[in-house]
A and B are shown apart, each in its own frame.
Chain A
C-alpha cells in the first residue's frame, strides 16, 4: 500500500511538528500574532498541535500604534475566541520610556519594532518566539533556519547559524539567548492562501476587496488615513483595493483588486506577477539588502 500525503497536509504536519518541538524543548516560548494571514495560519496549526489542551505559550502582538482598526479588533476577537492569553507590547511604551526616539512623528515605525520586541523578550524572559516568516518572502530569508539563533542582543548572524539536518531542530539556548522558530518557513504565498481556503480561516476584512480613499504617490498606492494624510496637490481617489499584507499603516500599501473572496484571491495570486513584499511593503524597497540589515538588528 503506497501512499503520500498532499502538499498542504505535508506542510501542515511539518509546522505542527515544529511547534511541538518548541513546546517540548523551550521553557518559555511565545507566539507572535499580528492578526495577519500568516500568523492566523500559525494559530490554526497551534490548535491542531495542542488541542484539546491549551497552547503552551501566550500570544504576543508588537503594536506599532499605526494599525487598521479592523485588524486590531480582529486580533482581540481571535484571542478571545481561542481563550488564550494575548500580550500587547506597544511601541508607544518604548517611546515613553525613551528607548525609541522617532526622528519624525509620521515616519514608518516598522524598523523600530525590533526594539519593542527585544524589550518584551527581556521582560517576559521568553526563550523562543514563534513567527510566521516564510523563506519565499525575500532573498535574505532563503537561508534562514527553521529554528534561528539570536544572541543576547537579539542579533542574527548569518555566519553563526546552526546547521539544520533532517527534522532535528536544536532549540537549546543559554539565558538571554533566543530562538526564532518559523513553522511555515517552507510555505509560499500560494500555500498560505490554499490553506486559508481549506481550513476556512476567517481573516480581517481588509484582506478582501473594498472601497478606500487613496492617492497615487511615486508609483505606489497610499491609503489615506490619519497617520498618512493627503499631501498638498494630491488627488484623492476612491477605488476598490485589498491588502496582501497587514502591518504598520505607514508602510503597507494595498493593491488594486476586485477579489472579495479567498477563491478569487487564489486565482489572482496564481496569475500575479509581482512578489508580495515587492508590491506591498514600502519599507523593503530602499535597498536590496535592507531586510538582511534589519534581521541583523533583531527584526524578524
Chain B
C-alpha cells in the first residue's frame, strides 16, 4: 500500500519484546502485508535465508541491520522503519533486546506515541514484560498494545489467552500503568502466520476486537491545542540587516518549533526568562502568512515591540505562570558506559537552551526487575534513578508528565561531548 495520500498524519510507535518473542517477525509482517517491502529487498532476504539454511523466507531478516550485528547474530541499536497506508505514515522505532535494553528502549520510546509489547503466548508474562511496561510508563506513552504472539503454538486457545490478559491487568494496576488517559489494548496474534496483524486470518474467530493495523489506523493522534499551554522555545533569531531593503532593515524574527499549544496573531505573550511582554505581529512558515501556529509546527514569528529575544528563550502566553528555575528533580536513565560521577559538572540540554549542572543528590535507584527503590551513590549504564540537579543557568521547564517537549532533557559529558543521560523532570525548585 504505497499510498499517495497527501493528508496522512504521522504515528510513531515502538516494538518491545524479549529475544525470540517474534518482534522482528511482527515488524516484517507489518511491512510485508502493507506491501512496503520491495522486491529487491525480498530477493536479498531470500538469499540470506538460504545462506542460513532456511527454506521459506524469514521475515525477521527484513529488520536485520548492520554487518557487525549480523556477524554476531544480535541487534545492538535502535533502527527506524517506515510504512504507509491510505491514512497514515508510520515510523517504527525498533528497540532490540539484550544488555543495552533499557537504554535502547528509552531512546525508542522517547519519540513514540504508542508501544507494542510482545508476549510469547506459551510463556505468558515474564520479568522482561514487566520491565518493558515500566519503561513505557516512565517515558509517558499513553497507548499500549499487548500483543500476545505465537497463538498458533497454543492452538489458538482462548482460555490461555484470557488468563494472560488477566495476569497483565493485575500487574498493570500494581504499577499504576492503568491510569486514566492511558489505554491498554490486548490482541491475540500469530506474527508468523499473519493472524490479526494486517489480516484477521481464520484461526482466531473468537476474538472480536480490532487487528493490530486497525488499532494503529484508528488511534487519535490529535492534540488538544487549546487545553495545553503555549510553549515556543526560540532556536534562532533572524536579522537580515538588509540595508538595501527598507522593510528588512530593522526586521527581526524569532524562529522555533511549537512544543505545545496554540499561538495566534495578536496574542499577548511574554519572553522567558526576561519576562518582557509583547504581542504577536506575524506568524509564518516560509512565505505562507498564518493566522495561527499549532503544536509541532516550526514557525517564524515577529513581535510588535522591539524586545530582546535570543536562542534559548521561550515564548509563552503573558498570563502563564511559568517561571525559570535553577534546580529540579528528575528520573534519569544513564546511557553511558562511564558511570555518573557526583563530583563532576555536566551539561544539560533542554529545548534550545543548555546549562551547566551539578548533581545535588541521587535520591534513589529503581531496581528494574523488582521495581523496588534502592539506595544509590553512583549510576551505571541502564540505571534509572531519581536525581536532583542544581543548574548554573536558569532553564524554563515543565513537569514531564504535563509536557514531554519541555519536561525532557539530555545530559552531555563536558569533556567528551557524548550524550550520557536522559532525564524526565518530576518536580521543579521554586
Q: Which residues of A contact B (CB under 8 A)?
A: 1-14, 16-17, 20-21, 23-24, 44, 47-54, 56, 135-136, 139-140, 142-143, 158-159, 161-168, 170, 172-174, 185-186, 188, 190-191, 194, 198, 266-267, 269-275, 278-279, 288-289, 292-293
Contacts and interface: CB of A to CB of B under 8 A. Distances in A.
Interface string B238-271: 1110100000100101011100001000000000
Contacts of B240: 52-54
B103 interface: yes
Contacts of B107: 163-165
Interface string B387-408: 0000000000000000011001
B65 A24 contact: no
5 contacts: A3-B294, A7-B8, A166-B111, A267-B4, A270-B4
Contacts of B253: 52-53
Contact of B236 (A23, A159, A292): A23
A298 B292 CA distance: 43
B408 A165 contact: yes
Interface in B66-92: 66-68, 70, 76-82, 84, 88-89, 91
Contacts of A163: 103, 107, 335, 419, 422
Given A166-B111, A166-B404, A267-B4, A53 B40 contact: no
Given A13-B297, A142-B80, A191 B89 contact: yes
B295 interface: yes
Interface string B205-236: 00000000000000011111110000000011
Contacts of A190: 2-4, 84
Contact of B286 (A5, A14, A47, A274): A47
B415 to A, nearest CB: 9
B41 interface: yes
B349 A273 contact: no
A52 B242 CA distance: 10
Interface residues of B, number: 81
Contact of B77 (A4, A158, A167, A186): A158
Nearest to A142: B79
A50 B294 CA distance: 19
B222 A4 contact: yes
Contacts of B179: none
B183 interface: no
A198 B131 CA distance: 44
Contacts of A273: 38-39
Interface of B: 2-4, 6-10, 38-41, 44, 48, 64-68, 70, 76-82, 84, 88-89, 91, 103, 106-107, 110-111, 220-226, 235-236, 238-240, 242, 248, 251, 253, 255-257, 262, 285-287, 294-298, 311, 335, 347, 349-352, 404-405, 408-410, 412, 417-419, 422
A142 B65 contact: yes
Contact of A3 (B44, B225, B256): B225
A10 B70 CA distance: 33
Contact of A168 (B67, B294, B349): B349
Residue among B103, B235, B404 with the most chain A CB within 10 A?
B235
A2 B406 CA distance: 20
Nearest to B423: A165
A270 B238 contact: no
B298 A173 contact: no
A2 B103 contact: no
A9 B6 CA distance: 10
A60 B107 CA distance: 33
B408 A4 contact: no
Given A166-B408, A170-B417, A1 B66 contact: no
Contact of B9 (A5, A21, A50, A188): A5
A12 B6 CA distance: 13
A198 B65 contact: no
A2 B79 contact: no
Contacts of B6: 6, 8, 194, 198
A186 B91 contact: yes
Residue among A50, A56, A139, A159 with the most chain B CB within 10 A?
A139
A143 B79 contact: yes
A143 B311 contact: no
B298 to A, nearest CB: 4
Contact of B40 (A44, A166, A194, A275): A275
Contacts of A164: 107, 419
Contacts of B226: 1
B82 A174 contact: no
B294 A5 contact: yes
Contact of B2 (A17, A47, A140, A270): A270
Nearest to B312: A24
